[in-house]
Amino acid sequence: MRAYYFDNLPGDQRLPHDSIPSRPVSDESLAAINVHHWRIPVDCGDCEEQLNAVAKERGYRNRDTLSISKEGLGDLYEEKIKGFYQEHIHEDEEIRYILEGSGFFDIREAPQDAWIRLAVTPGDLLVVPAGIYHRFTLDERNNDEPKWHAIYRSSETDQNPHRLEYLRSIQVA
């Protein structure tokens, strides 16, 4: 997991929004606001044991699996994605173990009220405390909308990287 201060610039929420230069946030700073994380690779031999150890340490009794995808959420996908990105709190800890895909948890740093962005990928286990303002979004790699718009033939399309790759793939270029 990579943690850094969100740049607060307008634009697509699915983009990294990392400042230039980047302003990383340390594990100690996250611990100070009760945000905890572990790295448990999804393909490790004792993943279940590691997850069980964290669950026991924190007193968790239940687990469920949620697929945040068009397949998993169906007609509710767009509504859910928008809802996840609305700043909110929970009355219980939010625990997320990322099995596949990637995205961003944005959390409010108290008392400064700055956004910290947590870039999560498979194997990241994240605990967001009850009462902390936060939001979530998938990143741009999780856009399963096909790009089926036509790009009409022209001198520019002859130089399009996809066109050039196609020509290389059939050994014409």
Residue type, 104: F
Nearest CA among 86, 116, 91, 93 for reference residue 19: 116
Interatomic CA distance for residues 158 and 164, integer angstroms: 7
Interatomic CA distance for residues 103 and 119, integer angstroms: 6
Say if residue 17 carries a ligand binding annotation. Answer: no
Interatomic CA distance for residues 132 and 110, integer angstroms: 8
Task: Lay out the sheet containing 36-39: strands in order across.
Answer: 36-39, 124-128, 94-97
Interatomic CA distance for residues 21 and 136, integer angstroms: 23
Say if residue 36 carries a ligand binding annotation. Answer: no
Say if residue 109 carries a ligand binding annotation. Answer: no
Interatomic CA distance for residues 101 and 90, integer angstroms: 23
- Give the annotated binding-site residues for Fe(2+): 88, 90, 94, 134
- Give the annotated binding-site residues for Ni(2+): 88, 90, 94, 134
- Give the annotated binding-site residues: 88, 90, 94, 134
